[in-house]
């Protein structure tokens, strides 16, 4: 298989692009950090890029454009206006799109998640709302892979497996338009990750750091090639950035590596 090319897309305020790129590098892929201006023709010719040239699109965390309005809304709008059609084609071609934290918020703003009706809904059908605590929460969280097979971006994570993946956000509570929103995601096998407690039990606060309904931490689109999640797998690629590794460990690999590796494997050769 030839080199997997990853576009790590950024604008001002995107601030997890270095570790996102590094995470893909650790999994054997070839990441490139690309500014949106390079996609929209606002850059000198030698710096211009096109989304078709990549196998994976990764949207890293941060506070794109400051997130002074709804998180991810401005970056989402700018992507839509400068490369919306190309992005839809990218998703339609079943290439993997992966968003973490602010990246997840952007995917929701773009209408790429949960995207019940079409690839890219004309307007957002969900939102990542303020945490129940009202605060930014930087803390360890534990995720369980609840995907029943639809999501193609978690193939290396056994079903039901729990992974310690840290969270750091102020707006992570997934809300839909209606009451049975979470049930429909579940029925449709779009729930990929749930927060759980240390023994795998249902997560109360702080194990569910934001109060997200049904403890949902990450979801995919119906086609299974777009994954958004609030916690940060790219922060735990080695055991030694986990919060509690000094209390003992079995592998030097971090729990995030299984996820990033899965995203890379989702590229069709």
d(CA 151, CA 3): 22
Give the number of other Cβ atoms within 10 Å of residue 10's Cβ.
25
Least distance in angstroms from the C-beta of 187 to another protein? 31
**Please, which residues bridge with residue 195 across strands?**
143
Least distance in angstroms from the C-beta of 244 to another protein? 5
Determine, following the binding rule CB under 8 A, whether residue 188 of this chain makes contact with another protein. no
Tell which one of 81, 123, 246, 251 touches another protein (CB under 8 A): 246
d(CA 207, CA 196): 6
Tell which one of 3, 44, 122, 199 touches another protein (CB under 8 A): 44
162: nearest Cα among 263, 228, 232, 258: 258
d(CA 164, CA 244): 10
Determine, following the binding rule CB under 8 A, whether residue 130 of this chain makes contact with another protein. no
Among this protein's residues, is 220 annotated catalytic? no
Determine, following the binding rule CB under 8 A, whether residue 22 of this chain makes contact with another protein. yes
Determine, following the binding rule CB under 8 A, whether residue 43 of this chain makes contact with another protein. yes
Encoding tokens for residue 2?
């030839």
Tell which one of 85, 117, 139, 161 touches another protein (CB under 8 A): 139
Least distance in angstroms from the C-beta of 234 to another protein? 6
Give the number of other Cβ atoms within 10 Å of residue 98's Cβ.
31
Encoding tokens for residue 99?
């968003």
- Site string (222-241) toward another protein, x via CB under 8 A: ----------x-xxxx--xx
Catalytic residue among 16, 101, 151, 220: 101
Q: How far, in Å, are 58, 158, 203 from residue 107 at the CA level?
A: 10, 25, 25
Determine, following the binding rule CB under 8 A, whether residue 135 of this chain makes contact with another protein. yes
Q: Tell me the catalytic residues.
A: 101, 232, 234
């Amino acid at each position: 298989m030839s080199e997997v090319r990853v576009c790590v897309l950024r604008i001002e305020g995107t601030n997890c692009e270095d570790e996102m790129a590094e995470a893909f590098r650790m999994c054997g892929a070839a990441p490139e950090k690309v500014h949106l201006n390079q996609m929209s023709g606002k850059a000198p010719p030698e710096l211009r890029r096109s989304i078709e040239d990549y196998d994976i699109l990764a949207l890293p965390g941060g506070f794109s454009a400051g997130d002074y309005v709804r998180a991810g809304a401005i970056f989402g709008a700018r992507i839509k206006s400068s490369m919306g059609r190309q992005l839809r084609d990218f998703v339609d071609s079943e290439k993997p799109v992966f968003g973490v934290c602010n990246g997840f918020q952007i995917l929701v703003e773009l209408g790429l998640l949960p995207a019940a009706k079409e690839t890219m809904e004309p307007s957002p059908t969900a939102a990542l709302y303020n945490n129940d605590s009202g605060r930014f929460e930087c803390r360890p969280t534990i995720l369980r892979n609840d995907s029943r097979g639809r999501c193609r971006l978690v193939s290396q994570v056994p079903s039901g497996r729990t992974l310690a993946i840290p969270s750091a956000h102020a707006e992570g509570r997934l809300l839909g338009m209606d009451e049975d929103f979470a049930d429909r995601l579940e029925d449709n096998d779009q729930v990929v990750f749930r927060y759980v407690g240390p023994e795998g039990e249902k997560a109360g606060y702080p194990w569910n750091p934001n109060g997200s309904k049904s403890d949902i931490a990450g979801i995919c689109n119906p086609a299974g090639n777009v994954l958004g999640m609030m916690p940060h797998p790219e922060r735990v690629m080695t055991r030694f950035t986990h919060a509690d590794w000094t209390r003992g460990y079995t592998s030097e690999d971090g729990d995030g590596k299984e996820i990033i590796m899965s995203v890379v494997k989702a590229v069709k050769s």
